[in-house]
Amino acid sequence: MISISHLLRLVDAYAAATRLPDVTISHRLFGDSKKLAALRAGADITVTRFNGAVRWFSANWPLDVEWPDCVERPELEAAE
């Protein structure tokens, strides 16, 4: 089962690759600079927000960084 811990693995890998702090990544993912801190402290999010965050990572993932195996990477939607 996929969980918040899987999302946080994406956050940690992305942060390590980009050297961006959680507050910046949180704002880019959720429009809320405090949401990742809340998730790390045990808060929850809706499935829609979770899936949106994973899709954002998939679309913005650094080319030279391997996607974590524990999280299925969504297909990018073709531009129309």
Query: What is the per-residue pLDDT across 60-72, written as a single tens digit (0 to 9) for each?
Result: 999 999 999 989 9
Share of the chain above pLDDT 70, in %: 95
pLDDT of residue 2: 84
Q: What is the mean pLDDT of the chain?
A: 93
Tens of pLDDT, residues 29-47: 999 999 999 999 999 999 9
Half-sphere exposure of 40 (CA within 13 A, CB side): 13
Judge whether residue 78 has pLDDT over 80. Answer: no
User: For residues 57 and 63, what is the distance between their CA atoms, to the nearest angstrom?
Assistant: 12
CA distance 67 to 61: 8
